[in-house]
């Protein structure tokens, strides 16, 4: 059933004129540099208190302590260990760990172990990279492509690490998403066809990787029903069976997609690869405000708490044989957004990141996080980061990318901005706090350069936060005195 603009306007009238703000301030209300109009400052925020009231604890775990090893600054009491490092650690085959770590998910393994699937965002021919994903027999889609996934098993005490290839011969494996049935969907952020950039097969697909069953990963097959475009992330609605997918593209800006399974289809391990190429329905989103006015681009929203109604428009040619999917729509048919990046399913819906917007968008910003409620069919702006004028200053967050819902409350966000890169937490009342800072300088003392954080995810027991430094490719396990931070 489609939620029409008229229906949304009626609901808005019932809720009152303040619908764009009322009842919409949940996780990630604001952040340093955010434009948070309409959200009153809460007494005691940041640790202060009104006279006679009990002081509120400041969020987070205190200031970050510089790392004498020059890798990762953490709060006092926290520590890290390197799980894998490109070119240094070895796969079971004896080959080096591939580089450019990206999206990651953690699963419960045998005897208390944690099993992680780790994307390697490697684009183009294998000769372009020193450490491509090895072409393991039976696990290769396109022998010309350099990307793929590795599966990493870490023992319960971290004393043993084993790594093997999950899929190879794919390209630009950026983010993806874990499924409710315990597998990983890895997304290719490219539109290269066979014959382009040395590729021998078409790319821009989603592939399923089983972290527990190596045999299930043999003879990789793209899930063409989910479309061919510059995929970023994917989440699954466990109640309705829908898959939501982000597209990181420009010229024009990318789209948010929803895939509806065909009637009678039941999700499960390996079921997606059995689908016909045109199975189900793939649609792109179209937003409108409380007055029923069409919204052409998500950057238009400049106030946290803004709520849009969402309709879904059918994709004409999901395999993009002649025209890229996002270019198959007229400007008034869909809503666009620059750098639609990470997603995470939680709180009954999908948290969705638009990392930043510049000249290619109507309004500039340095990051948005939205929440899509499938029951209400609404999209709510939870955070908007204003343009960071001084990205070299520590403590100013910008460029959110991969995200996860924390078992300790709120979200944990990986930065892919300019200048200094952080992992930071954000709470439902708008407070934010640093968790880690990348101190691996790949530039010079005069012009420092730091790679982005990626693949942020907690172990199933919530005791370990895994995250990657994308370049050169380092997976880290962070432990410490975690405590409840918020809802």
Grouping H, G, I as helix, E, B as strand and the rest as coil, residue 340 is strand
pLDDT of the residue at 271: 96
The answer to whether 397 and 432 are in contact (CB under 8 A) is yes
Span 219-266, pLDDT tens digits:
999 999 999 999 999 999 999 999 999 999 999 999 999 999 999 999
pLDDT of the residue at 230: 96
Q: Which element (helix H / strand E) includes 284?
A: strand 281-288
Strand 281-288 versus strand 256-260 pairing type: antiparallel
pLDDT of the residue at 471: 95
For residue 33, CA distances in Å to 22, 57, 354, 430 come to 22, 22, 16, 12
What is the distance between the terminal CA atoms of the chain, rounded to a whole angstrom? 32
Question: Up-side HSE of residue 413: CA atoms within 13 Å toward CB?
Answer: 32
Distant-in-sequence, close-in-space partners of 438: CB < 8 Å, separation ≥ 6 = 71, 72, 420, 421, 422, 450, 451, 453, 469
pLDDT of the residue at 216: 96
pLDDT of the residue at 487: 60
C-alpha 477/C-alpha 463 separation (Å) is 10
pTM for this predicted structure? 0.89
pLDDT of the residue at 430: 64
The answer to whether 320 and 228 are in contact (CB under 8 A) is yes
Give the phi and the psi of residue 153 in degrees, each rounded to 5. Answer: -110, 125
C-alpha 76/C-alpha 437 separation (Å) is 13
pLDDT of the residue at 48: 39
Q: What angle do CA 125, 126, 131 make, to 5 degrees?
A: 145
pLDDT of the residue at 31: 35
C-alpha 357/C-alpha 66 separation (Å) is 31
pLDDT of the residue at 158: 83
For residue 127, CA distances in Å to 17, 86, 98, 140, 199 come to 59, 16, 13, 16, 12
Q: What is the mean pLDDT of the chain?
A: 87
C-alpha 264/C-alpha 354 separation (Å) is 34
What does the buried/exposed string (b/e) look like for 51-77 if buried means 16 or more CB atoms within 10 Å of the residue's CB?
eeeeebeebbbeebeebeeeebbbbee
Distant-in-sequence, close-in-space partners of 222: CB < 8 Å, separation ≥ 6 = 141, 205, 206, 207
**In sequence order, what DSSP letters do the residues of 184-216 get, joined into one string?**
EEEEEB--PPTTSTT-SS----EEEE-SS-GGG
C-alpha 178/C-alpha 216 separation (Å) is 16
Span 345-386, pLDDT tens digits:
999 999 999 988 888 899 888 888 999 999 999 999 988 888
pLDDT of the residue at 399: 83
* Strand-pair partners of 297: 336
For residue 330, CA distances in Å to 192, 250, 326, 354 come to 23, 15, 9, 21
The answer to whether 403 and 456 are in contact (CB under 8 A) is yes
Task: Note the maximum CA span of the chain.
Answer: 71
Give the phi and the psi of residue 217 in degrees, each rounded to 5. Answer: -95, 0
Question: Which parts of the chain have pLDDT scores under 70?
Answer: 1-56, 430, 487
Record the tokens describing residue 166, joined without a space: 């999950």
C-alpha 272/C-alpha 207 separation (Å) is 9
Count Cβ atoms within 10 A of the Cβ of residue 467 and give its class: 0-12 exposed, 13-18 middle, 19 or more buried.
Answer: buried
CA dihedral 90, 95, 97, 103 (to 10 degrees): -120
Give the phi and the psi of residue 110 in degrees, each rounded to 5. Answer: -70, 145
C-alpha 396/C-alpha 128 separation (Å) is 34
Residue with token string 């539109």: 191
pLDDT of the residue at 13: 40
CA dihedral 186, 190, 196, 197 (to 10 degrees): -80
Q: Which residue, 435, 430, 396, is CA-closest to 414?
A: 435
Give the phi and the psi of residue 132 in degrees, each rounded to 5. Answer: -75, 170
Domains delineated in the chain: 5-38+74-479 (2.120.10.30)
C-alpha 448/C-alpha 464 separation (Å) is 29
Residue with token string 């999950």: 166
Residue with token string 């490219």: 190
Q: Which residue, 91, 112, 118, 124, is CA-closest to 175?
A: 118
Span 305-347, pLDDT tens digits:
999 999 999 999 999 999 999 999 999 999 999 999 999 999 9
């Amino acid at each position: 059933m489609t939620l029409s603009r008229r229906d949304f306007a009626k609901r808005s009238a019932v809720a009152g004129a303040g619908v764009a703000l009322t009842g919409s301030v949940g996780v990630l209300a604001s952040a340093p540099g955010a434009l948070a109009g309409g959200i009153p400052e809460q007494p005691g925020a940041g640790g202060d208190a009104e006279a006679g009231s009990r002081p509120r604890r400041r969020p987070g775990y205190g200031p970050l302590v510089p790392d004498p090893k020059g890798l990762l600054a953490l709060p006092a009491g926290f520590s890290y260990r390197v799980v894998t490092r490109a070119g240094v650690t070895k796969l079971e085959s004896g080959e080096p760990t591939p580089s450019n770590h990206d999206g990651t998910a953690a699963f419960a393994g045998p005897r208390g172990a944690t099993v992680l699937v780790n994307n390697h965002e490697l684009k183009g021919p294998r000769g372009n990279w020193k450490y491509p994903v090895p072409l393991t027999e039976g696990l290769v889609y396109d022998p010309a492509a350099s990307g793929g996934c590795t599966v990493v098993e870490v023992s319960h005490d971290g004393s043993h690490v084993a790594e093997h290839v999950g899929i190879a011969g794919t390209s630009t494996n950026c983010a993806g998403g874990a499924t409710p049935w315990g597998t990983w969907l890895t997304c290719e952020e490219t539109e290269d066809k066979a014959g382009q950039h040395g590729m021998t097969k078409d790319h821009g697909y989603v592939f399923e990787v089983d972290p527990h069953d190596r045999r299930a990963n043999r003879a990789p097959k793209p899930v063409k029903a989910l479309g061919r475009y510059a995929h970023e992330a994917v989440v699954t609605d466990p109640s309705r069976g829908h898959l939501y997918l982000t597209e990181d593209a420009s010229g024009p800006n990318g789209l948010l997609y929803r895939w509806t399974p065909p009637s009678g289809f039941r999700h499960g391990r390996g079921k997606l690869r059995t689908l016909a190429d045109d199975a189900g329905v793939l649609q792109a989103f179209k937003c409108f405000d409380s007055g029923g006015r069409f919204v052409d681009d998500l950057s238009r929203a400049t106030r946290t708490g803004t709520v849009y109604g969402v309709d879904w428009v059918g994709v004409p040619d999901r395999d993009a044989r002649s025209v890229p999917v996002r270019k198959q729509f007229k400007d008034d048919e869909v809503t666009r957004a620059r750098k639609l990046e990470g997603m995470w399913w939680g709180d009954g819906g999908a948290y969705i990141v638009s990392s930043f917007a510049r000249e290619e968008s109507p309004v500039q910003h340095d990051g948005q996080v939205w929440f899509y409620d499938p029951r209400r069919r609404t999209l709510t702006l939870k955070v908007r980061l204003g343009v960071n004028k001084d990205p070299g200053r520590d403590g100013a967050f910008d460029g959110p990318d991969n995200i996860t819902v924390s078992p300790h409350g709120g979200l944990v966000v990986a930065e892919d901005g300019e200048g200094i890169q952080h992992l930071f937490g954000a709470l439902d009342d708008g407070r934010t706090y640093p968790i880690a800072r990348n101190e691996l300088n790949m530039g010079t003392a005069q012009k420092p350069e730091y790679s982005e954080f990626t693949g942020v995810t907690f172990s199933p027991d919530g005791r370990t936060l895994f995250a990657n430094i994308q370049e050169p490719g380092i997976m880290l396990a962070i432990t410490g005195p975690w405590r409840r931070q918020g809802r």
